[in-house]
Chain A
């Protein structure tokens, strides 16, 4: 499925009413489910904007907030990521508020069927689970998010991140997890812990751990890219969102 689409950058009110930059891509002439895309820690970059357009090309409304809008409005993605990092990163509460704003923005689009899923990569994978445990969503995809069931191996005072174990019982929607068998964060042991916790909470989920892949196997511009795994992963995403967002 390949749709014509319209992509543009706009501004919406995010957490606490703050103005945040949003990149969105909407398929032409159809009713659609929607996907809130969460960018990775390197920021609101070209590669993640391409992912937003990919969802629209497959018939989904998609939008991504610039999570660093406040720290570095108008800056290049790498400078913005550095500025946000120097200030301690993105607090979880703010992330949830920004994703809620993006979900509302997508639901307000003329062709929306009212359903919204969320997807994130790397740090965004953890944030996708965080959003799905904090907001009423219809589907969530976690692409190799670390620190979902363990805290980061650092007690640095600037670290704003901790495990999501206490809120996993609040997961509001089915979760698709895509992981690499060679990844250490999250390790296979950690994703198995997550599997056990979600089973305990009677949550709907499906996990796929790919042999021959480590972290960031979807990232086409990085040496971690694994073409065959990425293609298989995308097909699982189309199947999953097709079932839950249509």
Chain B
């Protein structure tokens, strides 16, 4: 099925896509049919800069276990960093 539901968020950072580095301003997260990963469904992450056009994108297609492991690794990494190093 196409799930349609999509989480979107704004973010600050950089990403390296098919044409090189770009400022990342937005992301979409959803669980749907992948383009490349050989499975019926995958957890999809698009890191985007819509102002730079549709090709300013880094796409990830992960199976559910991998997506959870990645999310937990991100949170563990951030939790282990001294608070004074984290800029807001």
Which A positions have Cβ atoms within 8 angstroms of B?
40-42, 71-72, 75-83, 85-86, 88-89, 122-123, 146-147, 152-154, 156, 158-161, 183-186, 214-216, 222-224
Q: Is B20 close to A, CB under 8 A?
A: no
- Residue B54 contacts which of A42, A82, A89 (CB distance < 8 angstroms)? A82
Partner of A159, one of B4, B26, B55, B59: B4
SS of A interface (majority): loop
The reply to whether A156 and B6 contact each other, CB–CB distance below 8 Å, is yes
Closest 6 CB pairs of A and B: A185-B1, A72-B54, A154-B5, A75-B54, A83-B54, A123-B2
**Would A152 and B59 count as touching, CB distance under 8 A?**
no
Query: In angstroms, how far is the closest chain B Cβ from the Cβ of A152?
Result: 5
Query: Which residues of chain B are within 8 angstroms of A122 by Cβ–Cβ distance?
Result: 1-2, 33
B59 touches A82 (CB 8 A): yes
Give the residue name and chain of the A residue nearest to B32 (CB): A41
Alpha-carbon gap, A216 to B32, bound state (A): 12
Would you give the shortest CB distance from B88 to chain A, in whole angstroms?
A: 25
Give Cα A156–Cα B29 distance, bound, in whole angstroms.
Answer: 13
- Flag B9-51 by CB within 8 Å of A: 1 or 0 each: 0000000000000000010101011010011100000101010
Besides the contacts A154-B5, A156-B4, A223-B38, what 13 more A-B pairs have beta carbons closer than 8 Å? A40-B2, A75-B53, A77-B35, A82-B46, A85-B30, A89-B4, A123-B2, A152-B4, A152-B5, A156-B7, A185-B1, A186-B1, A223-B39
Complex interface: chain B residues within 8 A of A78 (CB)? 35, 59
Q: Is the CB of B53 within 8 A of A72?
A: yes
On chain B, the residues within 8 Å of A222 by CB distance are 33, 38, 40
Give Cα A158 to B30, complex, Å: 12
Q: Is the CB of B28 within 8 A of A215?
A: no
A243 CB, min distance to chain B CBs, angstroms = 29
Instruction: Tell me the minimal C-beta distance from A186 to chain B in angstroms.
Output: 8
A contact residues around B48 at 8 Å (CB): 82-83, 86
